[in-house]
Amino acid sequence: MNNFKLFISSKNPESLRMIDRFDSVLKSICNDQYSLSVIDVLDDPHLATMADVFSTPTLVRLEPLPVKRITGDIRGHENTYKILLKSK
């Protein structure tokens, strides 16, 4: 099971579209074998600090190990997601 956290800086319309985009791509690549938690760093800055997240958006794959992350807008870059999903 792939476990992800998506760190965003607000829940504005653009962020909500981005969440839907991440969710849609992960659903297609992971065959529904994933969980996605969304953290608004403005609401929970301590969670971003604990995860060493310093910019948004940042997608962090927590499991399977090793932990991997993508920062910034990656619209239309499914290969980036596939690299993120590789275990090694």
The pLDDT of residue 74 is: 64
Mean of the pLDDT values across residues 67-71? 87
Q: Which residue has the higher pLDDT, 48 or 79?
A: 48
Q: Determine the residue type at 21.
A: R
Q: Per residue in 16-59, pLDDT tens?
A: 888 888 888 888 778 878 999 999 999 999 999 999 999 998 98
The pLDDT of residue 22 is: 82
Q: All domains of the chain, ordered by start, with CATH?
A: 2-85 (3.40.30.10)
How far is CA 70 from each of CA 9, 13, 18, rounded to the nearest angstrom?
Answer: 15, 21, 14
